[in-house]
């Protein structure tokens, strides 16, 4: 066969300038089914904000139940219908449904999709100097799978039998047997369906992030010149790629147990005096699979927040990040270790104590890279020219939570102590500080810092300060007392404690926590106003409002699809040249070549500058 | 998850560098590996727990394994023919690969029938359920592979597969060999652990 009749169409290979053929798109393709990473990032952000309000609202309601068990909740009947009895009492099963939804929403929809989805999408191409993600189409799918997943989870909350109610960790047999509780029926089914789409979304997103970081860095953007934000998003995506499939395995077997009658997780169960046919399964198997995913997942939540913090703290301390290499090293170490510590969630499952001590040892090792990060943040701040923007305050707040929540991790990591503390409010306090609040602060820091780039306008600083202080103090007032309540033995996920005399002395403390929670939640509306109002009415943002070095600030005020109107900028240096001795300004953007900064170059950089010039 | 395979096959998939697409396929493969690593670890954990039903693996699984290897051979032959620009042979090769794969489907089904006749059911002791899950989930991924083959076949009809445009068929071959290797792993795992 001759080759002549074969047309060589090299359509897969696109040049750099391919995005410049800009044509007007219809509203639908520009704002809804957009493949522009910036639009997709905003879609993730707005959806995440929606979920955060809902998830936070749920927590206020169940805190009311915990803090004021005798309260008449009749006023909630218009929203919650039959879940509030006519005497104004919250339905106990719905209490469980609410904590389950709160956990699911916060962990997955807000702090995984809302955080990674927003900032990985937004910053990876902008900070690496790429026109867009490796595949805009996959990115589009990633968002719409997330949307579908959200929709299904949302609908499940309106079922007459209630949404899933077995906790965000959905342990069987509770979650596997529809007759176990009303939420384990249709609600649990929808939870599982929703999670299938969620996982598909995360994997599509993650594959895209990794591919983009590996393949689409601009000239000069070596791995050693990548901002720590990108390093964090990159490793987060790797963690997701390796751990979410295990969740698929875990959930798949659960689906078979639920819908086809297999016995992977079920054995010798009696319900209402009647024996179920299932034999030979083990619920502990579920825990192994779940936590093999679950522990990396908590780092999937916190690493992006730490990445954002690195960037914000360095910029606003006007100092290079302390220990850039150590930061990368600790991200990698955390990522690796996070796969071999899962059984610290299972110390009381009757595991072999010898095995328990191995997992205890591995768990405590994680404290080292975590401490390296905390230490590096503090040393970056040390003697810096601190500029207290709201983003900076939230980043410092994150460091504070990460430390105080991480310390309690050391207690829990000791099997002997954990046997007492497991499933008490002490654990709740631990992870709300170290993961919940820290990652939430990372998210807020990111929004305050990149809002000018996202919307071309500034947020109001004063409102930002008020928001920060109310939230920062509020978080401690809410979660610090929970440590005491936990040490006293309060189990988590209980509807009420009024039947136990031992706990009666904690009634006031519980009411106090609830009041603090309401105030903290209320403070978020200041943020919401600040955010939505200034999208339209904010003062126009300068091109580089924080005098920052990274590439996103070299784009126009409102970048089009393709990000840079002309050529993609080249990168000549790392992103942390702040307050370099000898330099005229206290920052040198990554796009400035060494041969233009003779006055501040080191010897090594002078060598580099010669190479630059001979190259041109 | 199945969808990603389809997306890669989609021609509208815009990537700047060819490598990025292949790279993404490898990442997808990594995620499938983790899925099965999770499942096979679950098998080991469950087995060490006791209450484990012992039974013989049907011989049909061995025959089907051989057949799947044959389909990989056919796929590779097709790939080499594409390099030679023999488009007719490519079409034959793809058809043959797909036909052998369908035979494999049928043989897996026969193995299940055999298992049932041995009183090993999907619903029952996990040791049996796992066999159905592993082989079934592998078949699900193979369906993705067949869709991919179909796409490459259509591309070939449109003269889009030839020595200067090997990406699609290369990726398809990679995925196909991976699925073969995956099944061999699962088969050996089941035989050695049962
Ligand atoms: C110094 C490092 C840390 C150690 C030693 C540690 C240890 C532990 C231990 C042993 C538990 C199990 C407690 C129990 O259920 O009895 C636990 C729970 C938890 N940890 Fe940590 N942790 C650390 C850091 C973190 C970080 C950085 C995050 C998240 C970003 C995190 C998130 C969680 C979550 C979400 C739970 C509770 C899961 C649940 O049962 O719902 N931890 N931690
Ligand atoms: Cu953990």
Cβ of B27 within 8 Å of Cβ of A207? The answer is: yes
Contacts of A288 in chain B (CB under 8 A): 41-42, 45
* Ligand 1 binding pocket mutation candidate from A286, A408, A409 (most atoms within 8 A of CB): A409
Residues sharing a CB contact under 8 Å with residue A499, sequence separation 6 or more, in sequence order:
none
B42: nearest CB among A137, A208, A289: A289
For ligand 1, atom 8: residue with the closest CA: A409
A203: nearest CB among B31, B124, B167: B31
Contacts of A351 in chain B (CB under 8 A): none
Ligand 1 center to A430 CA (angstroms): 7
The pLDDT tens digits of the residues spanning B62-98 come to: 999 999 999 999 999 999 999 999 999 999 999 999 9
DSSP B163: T
Q: To 10 degrees, the CA torsion angle through B43, B49, B55, B57? A: 20
Q: Kindly state the tokens that stand for A28.
A: 């639908």
The pLDDT tens digits of the residues spanning A236-292 come to: 999 999 999 999 999 999 999 999 999 999 988 888 888 888 888 899 999 999 999
The closest-lying atom of ligand 1 relative to the alpha carbon of residue A412 is 10
* Average pLDDT value for residue range B114-119: 94
* Average pLDDT value for residue range B113-139: 94
At residue B18, the pLDDT reads: 52
Q: What ipTM is given for this predicted complex? A: 0.90
The pairs formed by A88-94 with CB atoms below 8 angstroms and a separation of 24 or more are A90/A61, A90/A62, A90/A65, A90/A495, A92/A495, A92/A496, A93/A162, A93/A165, A93/A181, A93/A182, A93/A183, A94/A162, A94/A165
A174 lines ligand 1 (CB under 6 A): no
At residue A24, the pLDDT reads: 58
The burial of B59, by beta-carbon neighbours within 10 Å (0-12 exposed, 13-18 middle, 19 or more buried), is given as exposed
Asked if A454 and A119 count as a contact pair (C-beta separation under 8 A), the reply is no
Residues sharing a CB contact under 8 Å with residue B26, sequence separation 6 or more, in sequence order:
B174
A417 lines ligand 1 (CB under 6 A): no
At residue B15, the pLDDT reads: 41
Cβ of A252 within 8 Å of Cβ of B13? The answer is: no
Q: In angstroms, rounded to a whole number, what is the distance separating the alpha carbons of residues B186 and A460?
A: 59
Largest pairwise CA distance in chain A: 91
In the predicted structure, residue B19 carries a pLDDT above the cut 80: no
How far away is chain B from the Cα of A480, in angstroms, using its nearest Cα? 37
How far away is chain A from the Cα of B39, in angstroms, using its nearest Cα? 6
Cβ of A250 within 8 Å of Cβ of B38? The answer is: yes
The pLDDT tens digits of the residues spanning A190-218 come to: 999 999 999 999 999 999 999 999 999 99
Q: Which residue of B has its CA nearest to A6?
A: B159
Q: Which of A111-115, B15-19, B119-123, B144-148 has the lowest mean pLDDT?
A: B15-19
The closest-lying atom of ligand 1 relative to the alpha carbon of residue A439 is 30
Q: In angstroms, rounded to a whole number, what is the distance separating the alpha carbons of residues A394 and A306?
A: 12
Backbone angles phi, psi at A270, to 5 degrees: -115, 130
A1: nearest CB among B4, B85, B126: B85
Largest pairwise CA distance in chain B: 57
At residue A616, the pLDDT reads: 64
Specify the fold of A31-551.
Answer: Cytochrome C Oxidase; Chain A (1.20.210)
Query: How many CB atoms are closer than 10 A to CB A507?
Result: 15
A301 lines ligand 1 (CB under 6 A): yes
Ligand 1 center to A292 CA (angstroms): 13
The burial of A273, by beta-carbon neighbours within 10 Å (0-12 exposed, 13-18 middle, 19 or more buried), is given as exposed
Grouping H, G, I as helix, E, B as strand and the rest as coil, residue A222 is coil
For ligand 1, atom 28: residue with the closest CA: A435
Q: Which residue of B has its CA nearest to A212?
A: B20
A561 lines ligand 1 (CB under 6 A): no
At residue B4, the pLDDT reads: 36
Grouping H, G, I as helix, E, B as strand and the rest as coil, residue A105 is helix
Grouping H, G, I as helix, E, B as strand and the rest as coil, residue B165 is strand
A523 lines ligand 1 (CB under 6 A): no
Cβ of B34 within 8 Å of Cβ of A241? The answer is: yes
The low-confidence residues of chain A, meaning pLDDT below 70, are 1-25, 616
Question: What pTM did the predictor assign?
Answer: 0.92
Q: In angstroms, rounded to a whole number, what is the distance separating the alpha carbons of residues A393 and A398?
A: 9
Cβ of A211 within 8 Å of Cβ of B23? The answer is: yes
Q: Kindly list the distances between the CA atom of residue A196 and the CA atoms of A41, A113, A328, B2, in Å, as whole numbers in the listed order.
A: 21, 14, 32, 11
- For CA atoms A542, A546, A552, A553, the dihedral sign is positive
Q: How far is CA B101 from the centre of its chain?
A: 9
The residue count of chain A comes to 616
Domains and CATH numbers, chain B: 18-193 (1.20.120.80)
Q: Domain ranges in chain A?
A: 31-551
A166 lines ligand 1 (CB under 6 A): no
Q: In angstroms, rounded to a whole number, what is the distance separating the alpha carbons of residues A14 and A6?
A: 20
CB pairs under 8 A between A and B: 174
Q: Kindly state the tokens that stand for A216.
A: 């689409």
A319 lines ligand 1 (CB under 6 A): no
The closest-lying atom of ligand 1 relative to the alpha carbon of residue A438 is 30
Q: In angstroms, rounded to a whole number, what is the distance separating the alpha carbons of residues A607 and A30?
A: 46
Mean pLDDT of chain A: 92
How far away is chain B from the Cα of A417, in angstroms, using its nearest Cα? 26
* Ligand 1 binding pocket mutation candidate from A424, A426, A431 (most atoms within 8 A of CB): A431
Mean pLDDT of chain B: 89
Contacts of B33 in chain A (CB under 8 A): 245
Contacts of A281 in chain B (CB under 8 A): 46, 126
């Amino acid at each position: 066969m001759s080759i002549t009749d074969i047309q060589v169409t090299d359509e897969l290979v696109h040049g750099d300038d391919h995005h410049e053929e800009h044509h007007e798109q219809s509203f639908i393709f520009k704002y809804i089914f957009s493949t522009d990473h910036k639009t997709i990032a905003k879609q993730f952000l707005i959806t995440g904000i929606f979920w955060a309000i809902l998830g936070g609202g749920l927590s206020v309601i169940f805190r009311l139940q915990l803090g004021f068990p005798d309260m008449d909740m009749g006023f909630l009947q218009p929203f919650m219908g039959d879940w509030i009895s006519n005497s104004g009492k919250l339905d106990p099963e719905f209490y469980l449904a609410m904590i389950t939804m709160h956990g699911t929403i916060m962990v997955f929809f807000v702090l995984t999709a809302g955080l990674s989805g927003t900032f990985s999408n937004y910053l990876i191409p902008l900070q690496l100097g790429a026109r867009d993600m490796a595949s805009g189409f996959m990115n589009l799918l990633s968002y719409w799978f997330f949307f579908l997943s959200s929709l299904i989870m949302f609908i499940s909350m309106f079922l007459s039998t209630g949404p899933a109610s077995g906790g965000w960790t959905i342990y069987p047999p509770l979650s596997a047997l529809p007759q176990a509780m009303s939420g384990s029926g249709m609600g649990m089914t929808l939870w599982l369906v929703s999670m299938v789409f969620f996982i598909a979304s995360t994997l599509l997103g993650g594959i895209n992030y990794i591919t983009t970081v590996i393949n689409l860095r601009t000239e000069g953007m070596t791995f050693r010149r990548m901002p720590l934000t990108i390093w964090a998003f990159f490793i987060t995506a790797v963690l997701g790629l390796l751990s979410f499939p295990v969740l698929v395995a875990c959930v798949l077997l659960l689906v078979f147990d639920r819908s086809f009658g297999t016995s992977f997780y079920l054995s010798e169960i009696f319900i209402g005096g009647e024996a179920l046919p299932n034999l030979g399964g083990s619920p502990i198997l579920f825990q192994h699979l779940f936590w093999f995913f679950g522990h990396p997942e908590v780092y999937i939540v916190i690493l992006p927040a730490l990445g954002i913090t690195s960037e914000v703290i360095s910029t606003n301390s006007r100092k290079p990040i302390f220990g850039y290499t150590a930061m990368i090293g600790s991200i990698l170490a955390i990522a690796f270790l996070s796969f071999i510590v899962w059984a610290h969630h299972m110390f009381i499952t009757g595991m072999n104590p010898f095995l328990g001590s191995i997992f205890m040892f591995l768990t405590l090792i994680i404290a080292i890279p975590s401490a390296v990060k905390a230490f590096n943040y503090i040393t970056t701040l040390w003697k810096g020219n601190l500029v207290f923007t709201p983003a900076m305050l939230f980043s410092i707040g994150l460091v504070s939570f990460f430390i105080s929540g991480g310390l309690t991790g050391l207690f829990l990591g000791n099997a002997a102590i954990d046997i007492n503390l497991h499933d008490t409010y002490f654990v709740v306090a631990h992870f709300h500080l170290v993961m919940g609040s820290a990652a939430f602060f990372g998210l807020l820091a990111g929004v305050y810092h990149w809002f000018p780039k996202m919307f071309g306008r500034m947020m109001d600083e004063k409102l930002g300060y008020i928001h920060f202080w109310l939230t920062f103090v509020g978080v401690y007032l809410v979660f610090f007392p929970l440590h005491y309540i936990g040490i006293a033995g309060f189990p988590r996920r209980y509807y009420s404690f009024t039947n136990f005399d031992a706990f009666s002395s904690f009634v006031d403390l519980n009411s106090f926590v609830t009041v603090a929670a309401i105030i903290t939640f209320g403070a978020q509306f200041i943020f919401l106003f600040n955010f939505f109002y200034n999208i339209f009415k904010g003062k126009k943002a300068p091109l580089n409002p924080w005098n920052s070095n990274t590439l996103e600030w070299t784009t126009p005020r409102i970048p089009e699809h393709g990000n840079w109107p002309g050529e993609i900028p080249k990168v000549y240096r790392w992103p942390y040249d702040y307050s370099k001795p000898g330099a005229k300004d206290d920052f040198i953007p990554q796009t400035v070549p060494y041969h233009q900064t003779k006055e501040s170059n080191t010897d090594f950089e002078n060598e580099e500058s010669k190479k630059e010039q001979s190259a041109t | 998850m199945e969808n990603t395979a389809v997306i890669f096959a989609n021609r509208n998939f815009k990537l700047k560098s060819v490598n990025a697409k292949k790279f993404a396929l490898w990442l997808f493969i990594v995620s499938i590996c983790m899925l099965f690593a999770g499942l096979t670890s679950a098998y080991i954990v469950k087995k060490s727990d006791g209450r484990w039903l012992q039974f013989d693996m049907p011989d049909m699984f061995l025959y089907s394994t051989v057949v799947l290897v044959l389909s990989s051979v056919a796929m590779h032959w097709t790939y080499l023919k594409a390099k030679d620009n023999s488009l007719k042979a490519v079409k034959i090769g793809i058809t043959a690969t797909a036909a052998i794969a369908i035979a494999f489907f049928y043989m897996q089904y026969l193995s299940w029938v055999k298992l049932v006749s041995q009183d090993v059911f999907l619903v029952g002791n996990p040791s049996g359920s796992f066999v159905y899950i592993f082989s079934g989930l592998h078949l699900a991924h193979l369906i993705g592979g067949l869709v991919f083959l179909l796409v490459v076949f259509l591309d070939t009809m449109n003269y889009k597969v030839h020595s200067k445009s090997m990406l699609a068929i290369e990726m398809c071959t990679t995925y196909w060999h991976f699925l073969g290797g995956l099944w061999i792993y699962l088969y050996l795992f089941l035989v050695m652990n049962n």
